[in-house]
Chains A and B, each alone.
Chain A
Amino acid sequence: MTEIFLIAIAVMIFVVIFQIAKASEYVSVLKGEEKAKKQTNKINAFMLIAFLVLGLIGCWWCNELYYGKTLFPQGAASEHGQKIDLMLYITIGVTGVVFLITQVLLFWFAFKYQERDDRKAYYFPHNTKLELIWTTVPAIFLTVLVVFGLKYWFKMTGEAPKESIIVEVTGHQFAWEFRYPGPDKILGRKDYRLTKGANGLGVDFNDPASLDDIHVPVTMHLPVNKPVKLIINAQDVIHDVGLSHFRLKMDAVPGIPTTMWFTPLYTTEEMKVRSNNPNFVYEISCDQMCGKGHFSMRGVIIVESEADYNKWLATQQPEYYTVFPDKKPKSAEDVVPADSTKKSIQLSAILPSGK
């Protein structure tokens, strides 16, 4: 019922506006078109300058309301992220000044040079010097932005440090899976054709390196202040590992593994304080449209002290034993075949991507 009521009101407002507009046309004819034209010209020129002033106040107010909700106040949680924030500030500064100058000139000129009886337009078709100035000045500013941007870009997309922890990330509709390489520090080979039942990631358990690999869903654990390299895969469609707190993002593409590395600077507990939010959690958002559950493809990262991380890691059971529960050893002695490390080095040299 309320809907019908709302629609009726909207239609009425619509009709009223339309009738007023129609009447105004007759009024202007009665008043004399020239006079009416002058009047609307004045009104609109005034509205333009009012729009500028109110608009700039609005920008300031919007900033008051929402700056606190952006990621700036809590700071970036990775070294890469801090560089990105710095660059964002520089870019906001440069573009902000240009924005202010050009918008003010636009609306101020429009207001100031409205048609008046005593005004004649100034014939000014071109001026080479002026045009050269506003070709070169933006070019110089842009060069600065490009140089800084590329410096950071190469640093961020460069090789991960050798001591990085490796975690394999796999996206599928609509969840994230993680695989840790285990004590041998090598991820076992994968083949998507082996994906079946409990072996959800298609791990090739004929590869000895895979025997100690650990598979965890949804939540990734990471130690603080240690570089981590993510090897990113997708099983079905393109996904994207979005880490807004670390200011990072990388697509997960079926058939083409990608990588990304970073160093977390704060534990989840520290971030709860920094962000003033006791419920704070590092979230992995899927940032590439992947189907109807795209918005719910959520992962979590728990960043903790190295001791806590190692403690957590020690409690994890290799995936081999979940896929083949009968192979699970009775005693803790023979968890991993002793010679697996050597063999798997050779294998991983052939298949660096972990496939």
Chain B
Amino acid sequence: MSNTITSQEQAVNVVHEHEAHGEHHHHETFITKYVFSQDHKMIAKQFLITGMIWAIIGGLFSVLFRLQLGYPESTFPWLEDLLGHWAKGGKLQPEFYYALVTMHGTILVFFVLTAGLSGTFANFLIPLQIGARDMASPLLNMLSYWFFFLASVIMFSSLFVQTGPASGGWTIYPPLSALGDASSGSKIGMDLWLVSMAMFIVSSLLGGLNYISTILNMRTKGMSMTRMPLTIWALFFTAVLGVLSFPVLLSGAILLLFDRNLGTSFFLSDIVVAGKILPNEGGSAILFQHLFWFLGHPEVYIILLPAMGMSSEIISVSSRKPIFGYMAMVGSLFAIAILAFLVWAHHMFVTGLNPFLGAFFVLLTLLIAVPSAIKVFNWLTTLWRASIRFTPQMLFAIGFVSMFISGGLTGIFLGNSALDIHLHDTYFVVAHFHIVMGVASFMGMFAGVYHWFPKMYGRFMNQTLGYIHFWITIVGAYLIFWPMHYEGLAGMPRRYYDFSMWESFKMFAGLNQFISFVSMIVFAGQLLFVVNFFYSIFKGRKVTTTNPWGSNTLEWTTPIKPGHGNWAGEIPEVHRGAYDYGKDGREFIPQTEAVGANESHH
């Protein structure tokens, strides 16, 4: 196939020849088309739908533990019917509460916002937007999904083991995660967690290497790096971050497996647990945190960058205006990607870290605010004197910017070590990262789904449901997370099962109830999206033009329902950047259009 040939020119010729033989060359069975597909578009859909299933599970978990936080005095007999001994007498047991919190974090961070978000859109958009017929290696790409699927199966099965799934928090700090005697969730559930994550990392590396090599080698004629849409730049940096940081987590996970099962002492020293004196000496529990956060911090940008890229694209398309400062947008993405590797220890200011070392992490952390500010002001300037079409995707892109501002600013508090001493591990942190990483990235993801759904399925999603979905989400998200800052400023610790025994924290019972109530409504609102998505695949309004949003990028030059190979004839040539909107009095000028003789220069 074309993709094994490195030279672009040759590839085009071969594919051209190949297509001259006619469409009937592909005899796709159900299995090769829908299950073990090597078509990047199908793999993207597989990632998306698996991610959506995980999102429902992870979201449901949060509703369950919010029941405990909001109504600590009540019992819910139906919980016992559902969860058995984990909810004895209709009340969540603390062990299971912590298991839910842990799995909520793991699922949302890795399975939804990493695999579901960048897995979906990197696969779907990279070949379509750079003008390639598929990924550099469709086989590795298929394997990437199936390793993710395997990771999902293992993680899902861990929910059903007798001692419960991992329950030491999504950061799985040892010794808690290393010692079965310290917590029932650290028994077999933790081994499954680690094995699942190892599979997940393999998936992420296979995907990432593929994205990078595709972007670097397989761009169509004329598509220089600086003509690429910002989505591709964002996905490119995301892949680089993943490829360089995930292996470090893999090493941490494997060392932890050794400590758990082979009697090594990488992370263990001087421990007496449940009356037993352990022989381990010389390990460092803090070492694990370094390994974890060396991935963990880039990970938040792995989650956020694709959302930034897609929002940039959608804001420009819907404003009918070029994205302001394209090169600054690329530069700030680059700066964020570099800094992402240099700030991990800001999660560890209160571990006893050398204060002198901490000072550098303060400086580098707050430095991230500069490229972030550039991005925000550039988005704002893009909206200035625009002509905005409020499609659901545009609303979500605006929501993304709003959330990114709100959550980004509280990062300035937490990155400053002196303030972090007070705010660390309080609800202030919960509010901060849910807004900036959770809700913002979800908004970017929703924007992407609404925008590219017509390309995926040849149909539109229902717009009215999209609007309702947006307004429930943004209003609900602020109602849930904004007041949490106040709880954090009162020092209220996160990951508490019950606050009623604390004189210092019990005054927020009413607020906790309110937050729990809103979270249930927001969860139901997300189900509207899920229903809309699946309904529209089969019954949505059909797309009748190839370019429904009036967009410049290459994916809209393909047929309405592109087959494997994307373009029926030759891959189009690119003559300009992706953001010529409103230029010389024309509403938009596709990338495929040659530069005219009289065209103005900027």
Partners in one complex: yes
- Spell out A's residues near B (CB within 8 Å): 3, 10, 14, 17-18, 20-22, 24-25, 37, 40-41, 44-45, 47-48, 51, 55, 58-59, 62-63, 66-67, 69-72, 81, 83-84, 87-88, 91, 94-95, 98-99, 102-103, 105-107, 109-110, 113-116, 119-127, 130-131, 134-135, 138-139, 142, 145-146, 149-150, 152-154, 156-158, 172-173, 192-193, 195-196, 202, 235-238, 240, 242, 244-245, 247-251, 253-256, 258-259, 277, 279-281, 283, 285-296, 298
User: Could you tell me if B387 and A115 are in contact, using CB atoms closer than 8 angstroms?
Assistant: yes
> Which of B358, B406, B527, B528 sits near A153, CB closer than 8 Å?
B358
Q: In the complex, are the beta carbons of B501 and A296 less than 8 A apart?
A: yes
CB pair B462–A254 under 8 Å, yes or no, is no
Given contacts A123-B583, A240-B350, whether A292 and B527 have CB atoms under 8 Å apart is: no
Residues in A neighbouring B531, C-beta threshold 8 A: 14, 18
Contact B395 A66 (CB under 8 A): no
Residue among B362, B388, B418 making CB contact with A45, cutoff 8 Å:
B388
| Interface residue? B225 (CB, 8 A) | no
Does B350 lie within 8 Å of A236, measured CB to CB? no
Bound Cα distance from A130 to B380, whole angstroms: 12
A residues in contact with B383, CB < 8 Å = 106, 109-110, 113
Given known contacts A44-B390, A109-B380, is B327 in contact with A285 (CB within 8 Å)? no
- Minimum CB–CB distance for A210 against chain B, Å: 17
Q: A113 near B508 (CB under 8 angstroms)? A: no
Least CB distance, B289 to chain A, in whole angstroms: 9
Q: Which residues of B contact A254 (CB under 8 A)?
A: 175, 268-271, 285
**A251 to B419, Cβ gap below 8 A?**
no
A107 to B325, CA, bound (A): 20
B322 to A123, Cβ gap below 8 A?
A: yes
Write out the residue numbers on chain A whose beta carbons fall within 8 Å of the beta carbon of B387.
113-116, 119-121
Do the beta carbons of B370 and A138 come within 8 Å of each other? yes
Pairs of residues from A and B, 7 with the lowest C-beta to C-beta distance, nearest first: A244-B491, A255-B269, A258-B352, A157-B355, A66-B486, A122-B385, A44-B390
B 328-364 contacts with A by CB, 8 A: 328, 350-352, 355, 358-359, 362-363
Q: Is the CB of B496 within 8 A of A156?
A: no
- Residue with the greatest number of chain A CB neighbours at <10 A, chosen from B379, B406, B416, B483: B416
Is B594 interfacial (CB 8 A cutoff)?
no
Q: Is the CB of B374 within 8 A of A131?
A: yes
Residues 390-439 (chain B) with a chain A CB within 8 angstroms = 390, 395, 398, 401-402, 405-406, 409-410, 412-413, 416-419, 421-422, 424-426
The verdict on B179 contacting chain A, using a C-beta distance below 8 Å, is yes
Measured CA separation A195–B275 after assembly (Å): 8
> In the complex the two chains form, is A290's CB within 8 Å of B176's CB?
yes
Whole-angstrom CA separation of A293 from B111 in the bound complex: 28
Q: Would you give the shortest CB distance from A117 to chain B, in whole angstroms?
A: 10
Contact of B78 with A by CB under 8 A: yes
Query: In the complex, are the beta carbons of A25 and B370 less than 8 A apart?
Result: no
Contact, CB under 8 Å: A69 / B490: yes
11 cross-chain CB contacts under 8 A: A91-B413, A95-B412, A102-B377, A139-B370, A235-B272, A236-B272, A244-B504, A250-B350, A256-B285, A292-B184, A293-B94
- Contact in complex: B412, A145 (CB < 8 Å): yes
Contact of B409 among A40, A45, A99, A106 (CB under 8 A): A99
Distance between B404 CB and nearest chain A CB, rounded to angstroms: 10
Chain B residues with CB under 8 Å of A125's CB are 322-326, 579, 602
Q: Is the CB–CB distance between A195 and B277 below 8 Å?
A: yes
Report the bound CA distance from A288 to B487 in whole Å. 17
Asked if A242 meets B493 with Cβ closer than 8 Å, knowing A3-B78, A298-B501, the reply is yes
Are A283 and B502 in contact (CB-based, < 8 A)? yes
In addition to A110-B390, A126-B325, A255-B269, 13 A-B residue pairs with Cβ atoms within 8 Å of each other are A21-B462, A51-B474, A113-B388, A124-B384, A138-B373, A150-B418, A193-B277, A240-B350, A240-B425, A254-B271, A255-B268, A283-B504, A292-B93
The listed residue (A59, A102, A116, A126) touching B380 by CB distance below 8 A is A102
Task: Return chain B residues, CB-CB under 8 Å to A14.
Answer: 524, 527-528, 531
Q: Are B508 and A69 in contact (CB under 8 A)?
A: yes
- Specify which of B183, B321, B412, B524 is in contact with A123 (CB 8 Å cutoff): B321
* B475 near A142: Cβ-Cβ < 8 Å: no
| Cα–Cα, bound, A71→B495 (Å) | 20
Contact A98 B409, CB 8 Å, known A55-B478, A109-B380 = yes
B471 at the interface (CB under 8 A from A): yes
A296 to B362 Cα, complex, angstroms: 32
For the complex, is B139 an interface residue (Cβ under 8 Å from A)? no
